[in-house]
Amino acid sequence: MVTPPWRINEVLDRAQNGPVCLEKDFDLKLLVPELQRVIKDYGISFDPATPVPQDDSLADSLWNAAMDFYLEVGTLCTDTHRRILFTEEEMNEALGNFPGRFTLGFGRDSKEISNRQIEDTRRPFCLFSPDITCDEDLFVPMSMAYLQEPLANGVCAPILDELEGMPIRSGSPSEVKGSVAHAMMFREAARRVGRPGIFLKSVGTAESDAAQIAASNQEWGERLTDGRFVASITELKVNNSLLNKMVHFHTYGCFVGCLAGPILGGYAGGPEGTAIVGIAYHLMGLLVNQAHFMNYFPFHLKHTCNTMRELLWVISTTYQALARNSNFVSMSNGFAAAGPCTEMVLREAATHGLVSVVSGANLWEMAVAKNKHKNYATPMEARMAAEVGCGAAKEKVSREDANEIALTLLKTYEENIENAPLGKNFRECYDVRRCKPSAEYMALYKKTRKELEDVGIPFIY
């Protein structure tokens, strides 16, 4: 089987010459009506009592609805106002040739990532990421703290928003300079913890295509064994800058990921529509973004997290549909409402890791404090999600058992999501010089872990 890309020139041609469509018409006259149609036609219905459904027919109906939906809607290129459309035969060709597994990183630090099945007993690929901006002086120690975690098979660095006293502005020379510094310091951090070949996902500091291209360098920057992102614009859109990145990444030869986060409460509507759009994003990721892997993070429009029951249902049903009908390689990205060093964030992390892995996902953990507060992230939240997710695979947790555990945990934090505690920042949670969690956070972690074990949560060790 071949790996992506799938016919790059076809994608670029359709982005320039596909059917003309204004963005507001794409949203309101095409996406929303088609989404409502397939929800009705395929009988998709959210049940709040089952955040982890056990109905295979629901998963298959969601897959068929998403295929139907994406064939009709496609992807809009916002710069050209053209729709990128595919035939069913083309979609099946791309799906049929996708290998479903890749080796990321190099040497002794390399690790295979593959598609997973429902209730899969194989350990998931775990990528650790703070998913937040940080102070420049924290970049290396924060990266080292994540890189030294034993369950981290790959790491995404924090994001710089200033460098050497200057703000980093997208599209400006400061962004190029900041992105090059990001790549260099991230490589340094990996070497300093003794994992020079680990899969590095970068460069989050680089928003523009020019800055991403500037960071591509085998000697000091982004290597061929590392991963880069071609993001998407909500919902199901791209622009020329994103397509520039896609072309560059593939001609450079590195691994390409697709970043996709359908919004519950936006154009995707409720849980049913959000799940369908999420599956459509995976199809778009393969055909337009030309991705080897997905980072999938559906989230709530108001609360900016995905640990409440509606979003757990979206995550679970999406991954069950993908597992039963495709070879997609996809990582479930957790977004927690609470911040570091709180019992609530550890419970959210455990729930997200459990539900994702049992449903067929790999893990990307985790954005916390609603992904809004600089320096508010630590490896402890990702550790909790990964220990639970890997434990669920090892202990062969069923969907039925995962659903009961999720319902139990939801009772402990769901009503606090709107006013979740901010917690403490990285400096308050870690010894920055030693890249070591504080005694306070370690004690809280152990206490919460014991409480989770008492309600049936499995841990890897």
Judge whether residue 394 has pLDDT over 90: yes
Question: What number of other Cβ atoms are within 10 A of residue 447's Cβ?
Answer: 12
Using 50, 70 and 90 to split pLDDT, how confident is the model at 156? very high
pLDDT at 2: 63
What's the rounded Cα separation, in Å, for the pair 402 and 406? 6
Question: What number of other Cβ atoms are within 10 A of residue 88's Cβ?
Answer: 10
DSSP string, 209-248: HHHHHHTB-TTTSB-TTSEEEEE-BTTTEE-HHHHHHHHH
Helix axis angle for 173-192 and 139-147, nearest 10°, is 40
Is the domain spanning 101-454 CATH 3.20.20.460? The answer is: yes
Q: With 0-12 CB in 10 A as exposed, 13-18 as middle and 19+ as buried, what is 235? A: buried
pLDDT at 3: 76
What's the rounded Cα separation, in Å, for the pair 452 and 461? 14
Q: What are phi and psi of 384, to 5 degrees?
A: -60, -50
Distances (CA, A) of 424 to 244, 259, 378, 405: 39, 28, 10, 27
Using 50, 70 and 90 to split pLDDT, how confident is the model at 202? confident
What's the rounded Cα separation, in Å, for the pair 113 and 94? 19
Give 80-113 pLDDT, tens digit per residue.
999 999 999 999 999 999 999 999 999 999 999 9
Judge whether residue 13 has pLDDT over 70: yes
Helix axis angle for 399-413 and 343-359, nearest 10°, is 160
Judge whether residue 209 has pLDDT over 90: yes
**Tokens encoding 133:** 């901006």
Distances (CA, A) of 155 to 100, 117, 372, 456: 21, 23, 20, 29
**Tokens encoding 335:** 């977004």
User: In the chain, what are the domain boundaries?
Assistant: 101-454
Strands (DSSP E) contained in 318-448 are 330-335, 362-367, 430-431, 436-437
**Residue 405 identity:** I
Distances (CA, A) of 226 to 106, 179, 282: 9, 15, 21
pLDDT at 437: 98
pLDDT at 4: 85
Judge whether residue 350 has pLDDT over 70: yes
Using 50, 70 and 90 to split pLDDT, how confident is the model at 6? confident
Using 50, 70 and 90 to split pLDDT, how confident is the model at 5? confident
Closest CA to 363 of 413, 325, 329, 323: 329
Q: Flag whether the pTM goes above 0.85.
A: yes
